[in-house]
Structure 1
Amino acid sequence: MVRKDAQSVSSSARYQRLSQDDDGFVDAQFKVRPRPIPWKAISYALLLFAAGTLLLIIGSLLVVGYIEERYSDRTWPVIILGALMFIPGAYHSYVAYYAFKGCEGYSFDDIPSYDDD
């Protein structure tokens, strides 16, 4: 069995010495690390927002009769699909916009990240 010394093992973890008057907490555990901007999730949100808006517009034009009646059987599926895409896309785009602006109460932690790097 090969044994490595603790000093020879490289690690990316950062450790801090515990104080002598240990109360079970370390100040470092309460520090919030800055989270990188989830560009992939924001691009997905913008794509959903744009596609949902487009589908809602097309569905609305089908309802009012601006687009020919031979496509009227597609009206409600287009509107429902557009709404299902628009709602989460609009919400996450809204959160991303206000997080970029730095408004209080908005952060990139509220946007689900698809980067598992």
Structure 2
Amino acid sequence: MVRKDARTHTSSAKYHRLSQEDDGFVDAQFKAGPKRIPWKAIGYALLLFAAGTLLLIIGSLLVTGYLEEKYADRTWPVIILGALMFIPGAYHSYIAYYAFKGYEGFSFDDIPSYDDD
């Protein structure tokens, strides 16, 4: 005896058999989202760049003797602090500029973001 199920319904959904090569990934998950510009990080980079440049100039003036001798003990700390501020500030400002201009190989993703919200 063959029993017919009374709950038969029709659906408009189209089902396809999955191929054996399916690895569970969808192409949409690999598409890049909208480009976010990390303004806060770029601002910090520009601040470091400007302050580092200023400290390096002051340190250079101290070394060359254009500023008074009474400040000679502050020469190397000013130069070291200026270099520690200038190097990352210049690097990240460089990346931000070329990413903004759209050069190939430069992206705002290369700049660390401080927006954790």
TM-score after normalising by structure 1: 0.81
* Per-residue deviation, residues 26-46 of structure 1 (Å, max 9, x unmatched): 011111112310000000000
> Are 2:26 and 1:21 aligned?
no
> How much identity, in percent, do the aligned residues show?
84
Give the ranges of 4+ consecutive aligned residues of structure 1 lying more than 3 Å apart after TM superposition.
none
How many angstroms apart in 1 are the aligned matches of 2:79 and 2:62?
A: 9
> Are 2:114 and 1:109 aligned?
no
The aligned counterpart of 2:36 is 36
Change (3 A) 1:34 1:20: farther
For these two proteins, the number of residue pairs brought into alignment is: 99
The aligned counterpart of 1:55 is 55
Moved more, 95-104 or 32-41: 32-41
Rg larger in 1 or in 2?
2
* Per-residue deviation, residues 46-101 of structure 1 (Å, max 9, x unmatched): 00000000000000000000000000000000000000000000000000000000
How many angstroms apart in 2 are the aligned matches of 1:56 and 1:68?
A: 16
For the aligned residues, what is the CA RMSD?
1.2
SS in structure 2 at match of 1:104: coil
How far 1:20 moved relative to its partner?
4.5
How many angstroms apart in 1 are the aligned matches of 2:35 and 2:115?
A: 12
State how 1:93-104 maps to structure 2 within 5 Å: 93-104=93-104
5+ residue gaps, structure 1: 1-18
How many angstroms apart in 1 are the aligned matches of 2:100 and 2:50?
A: 19
The aligned counterpart of 1:72 is 72
